[in-house]
Structure formats: structure tokens, C-alpha cells
Amino acid sequence: MKALSLYELNNLVREVISTTLHDEYWVETELSELREVRGHCYMELIQKDLFSNTPIAKASAKCWKNKWQLLSPKFEKVTGQSLRSGLKVLLKVYPDFHEAYGFSWIVTDINPEFTMGDMARKRMEIVNQLKGEGVFDLQKELKMPLFAQRIAVVSSANAAGYGDFCNQLADNSYGLQFHTRLFSAVMQGEGVEQSVIAALNEINSNADDFDVVVIIRGGGATSDMSGFDTLSLAENVANFPLPIVTGIGHDRDESVLDMVSHKRVKTPTAAAAFLVDHLERVYERVLDAQSELLSNVRHRMEMEKARLQHLGEKIPMLFSLYKGRQEALLDRIFINISSAVQKRLAQENRLLDSLTQRIKPGLERRLMRENYRLDLLSQRAKALDPALLLRRGYSMTTLNGHVVKDKSQLKPGDEIVTRLEKGTVTSIIK
């Protein structure tokens, strides 16, 4: 058997493909990779299992420079974003097999409406999930603070839209003061979701320092807005404790971020205008309330002045009448008090007499008992008097003023004093 060379085998494959697959085909696929090289676009296509998200088909595709320069702007114009990995696309392709480079699909057309429909489907899935969680309208239920002057701004620091926003706030007809603090974030590309969430988390940790949050993006292309259509970012915004105003600079489609925010405007300058208009309306309400308050105070003062004047005319007569009534009342009170005091004194005197009569016999009996007890104690004390013992012939020996009761208390050299009925004797122990 004669073996084929690799070139011959690949050439045979090329002929079979060109013979049997000579048409162009529309294919639904997902872009897993996309890169441009010298004006040509190289793509990696993938299809995932519907339930496990596991890749079940892969292929390479190419779009030559002359086609890519037409298809890419068209896609971006219709969809509002550029082709990137992760997008579902509908491509028109034909097969190409090269002996040296292998198999590839050649892209001749892209249907942007298909991608628009897939994006809308994903957006609707996110919206339905947010509604199912009960958080879709949470931001709408928040009340914008009357004096919304402390503003946390989520934006790219170098974006022209951020500068326009600050200038619009500063240049207002009433000279109202706003205090802004920038929380820098990536506002375009794949890092939008993580960056904006990180900025919101930082704001949330200092939520008491702010009245409202503004997420703005402007000054650049309207492409690649997918970062604002993610479930995680939408959940963060929907559950945020402060009102969030979005002005991310695109009119073609309303992003999920716009849908769940407290207020959606088109541009950063429109966001500033909304805040200025809100504070101006509050300021005008304050001025109206001030005028109404002054008018009410003047009217009340005039009424009270007339009332005081009317009362002033009645005071002398009312005072005389009141004085007479009070004097009569005091006389009655004095008489009542005097009578009550006399009555109470008589009662207390009778009580004292009664107590005196009851206490006297008891005191006399107690005095007799106590006198008898004192006599007994006196007789006992006399019986215990040491002088009586001395007169009977007993003596009492002391050492250093203490009575000696045991000879073991003494030692040679101690000086003891013996007390007799008549006199004392001092001795030295040997």
C-alpha cells in the first residue's frame, strides 16, 4: 500500500471540502476570543451545553481586512458596542482548508440584529431575576434628600464627562454649593463591573458622609456598554442605601443599571443639571416658606397686639374684682384654719392628760424595781471588796501591778509587793 504524504492528504481534504461545502452558511455562535492582526480579525468560536455550560463545539474563524473594515463599524453602529469575547453572534461563513494552516471558517457577514436580540434577552433575564428577588424597584422607593449637596461620584478621573459634571454643578444661577468626592472606576471594557462595585462598596462604608451617588460616563465612544448590563452590578445598585443617579452617556438602549437606579439621565451634564434643579426647587420652597412665615408672624403679632390692648383695658376692673374675691377667700381660710388649730390643740391636750395618767403608775413600779436591784448590786460589790479580805488576815501579792496567782509567774530577781490590811511589804525573789 502506497502511503500519502501529509501535503497530499491535506490537499485531498481541501478538495473534498471545496467540492461538498461550496456554499456560505449562517451560524449562531459565541465569541470566546477575538484579536486583530494587521487589520485582519481572528476569532475563536465556541458553543456551550445549554445546561452545564460545558463547551461542546469549537472552531477558528477569520475575517479578512477588506471585510472587517466594513463589518466592524456596521456592527458597532447598530449594537452600540464593539465585537468582543462573550457575545453571541450570527456569522455568515464559508469553509476554508489550507494545506499548511489547516481548517478555518472565513467570515463574510455579521448580523448585528441577532446580537441585539441576544443582548436584549440577557437584559430581560436579569430584569426578571431582579424583580423575582423583589429588589428591582428599591431605588425608586428611596427619597431624594431635600438638601442633596454631598455627592459621591463614580467615574473615571480623566473622563471629560467628570469635568463637565463638576463645572455644571459649580455654575448655577443661585450660587448653590455642592461638595463632591470622586471614587475612580473603570467605565469601559471588561473591568467595569468589578471596578464600579468596588467604588460602591467604598462609598457604602462612608454612607453617612453623602446624600446621593452619581455614576457618570462621558467623553468617549458609546461602544462596549456591556459592563453596565450585569446582574451583580444591578443587585449592588438596587440594594444601595443612597439614591443613585446614572448618566453614562448613551441613548440607544437603556442599560439594566439605568433601569434599577433612582434616576436615569443621558449625560454627566444632565446628571448635574438634575441635582442643581432639585436643590433650586428646595431653595425656592425655603424662600416661599420664609415669606409665608414672615407674613403669618406679622399677622399674628397684630392680632396679639389688639388682644393685649383689649385685655389691658379690662385689667383694672378685673383686678379689683379678683382682689375682693381673694381677700374673702383668705378670710374664710383663716377662720377655718384657726378653728381647726383650736380643735386639734384640745384633742392633743386630752390625749396628753390621758397618757400622763397611764404612764405614772408604771414609772413608779419601774423605779421601785430598779432601786431594789441597785441595792442588791451594792451589797455584792461590798462583799467583793479586797479590803474585807485583808481585814480577815489575807494578803495580796502583785508583780508590776498585776496580781500573782501562780508561782510560775515569778523568777529570781523579780520585785513583788505584798499588800496587808495595814501597809505593804516589798520582796525580791531569790
DSSP per-residue letters across 112-144: HHHHHHHHHHHHHHHHHHHHHHT-TTHHHHSPP
Q: Report which of residues 97 and 18 the model is more confident about.
A: 97
Where b means 16+ CB within 10 Å and e means fewer, 210-226 reads: bbbbbbbbbbeebbbbb
Strands ordered across the beta sheet of 402-403? 402-403, 396-399, 415-419, 424-428
Average pLDDT in the 301-320 region? 83
Torsion of CA 405, 406, 409, 414, to 10 degrees: 70
Average pLDDT in the 23-34 region? 90
Of the given ranges (51-65, 114-128, 163-177, 265-279), which has the lowest mean pLDDT?
A: 114-128
Q: What is the pLDDT of residue 158?
A: 84
Highest mean pLDDT among 2-16, 22-36, 214-228, 365-379: 22-36
Highest mean pLDDT among 55-69, 295-309, 398-412: 55-69
Residue 159 CB coordination number (10 Å): 20
pLDDT digits (tens, 9 = 90+) for 336-392: 998 999 999 889 888 888 888 888 777 888 888 888 888 888 888 777 777 776 777
- What average pLDDT is seen over the chain? 86
Closest by CA position to 97, among listed 40, 158, 17, 200: 17
DSSP states of 237-266 as a string?
Answer: HHT-SS-EEEE-S--SS--HHHHHSSEE-S
DSSP assigned state of 407 = G
Of the given ranges (6-15, 180-189, 326-335), which has the lowest mean pLDDT?
A: 6-15
Contact (CB, 8 A) for 251 and 218 = no
37: β partners: 40
Instruction: Give the C-alpha separation, 221 to 204, whole Å.
Output: 30
Average pLDDT in the 106-124 region? 82
pLDDT digits (tens, 9 = 90+) for 67-81: 999 999 998 888 777
Contact (CB, 8 A) for 151 and 121 = no
> What's the CATH superfamily of 134-282?
Response regulator (3.40.50.2300)
Q: Which pairing describes strands 244-247 and 212-216: parallel, antiparallel, or unpaired? A: parallel
pLDDT digits (tens, 9 = 90+) for 243-298: 999 998 665 557 888 889 999 998 899 999 999 999 999 999 988 888 889 989 99
Average pLDDT in the 136-145 region? 93
Average pLDDT in the 225-248 region? 89
Of the given ranges (104-108, 167-171, 367-371), which has the lowest mean pLDDT?
A: 367-371
Residue 221 confidence (pLDDT) above 70: no
Q: What is the pLDDT of residue 68?
A: 94
> What's the CATH superfamily of 6-116?
Nucleic acid-binding proteins (2.40.50.140)
| pLDDT band of 11, cuts 50, 70, 90 | confident
Average pLDDT in the 405-425 region? 82
Quick one: how many helices (H) and strands (E) in the chain?
A: 10, 14
The H or E element that residue 346 is part of is helix 268-383
Q: What is the pLDDT of residue 238?
A: 93
Q: What is the pLDDT of residue 77?
A: 84
Domain boundaries, the chain: 6-116, 134-282, 388-429
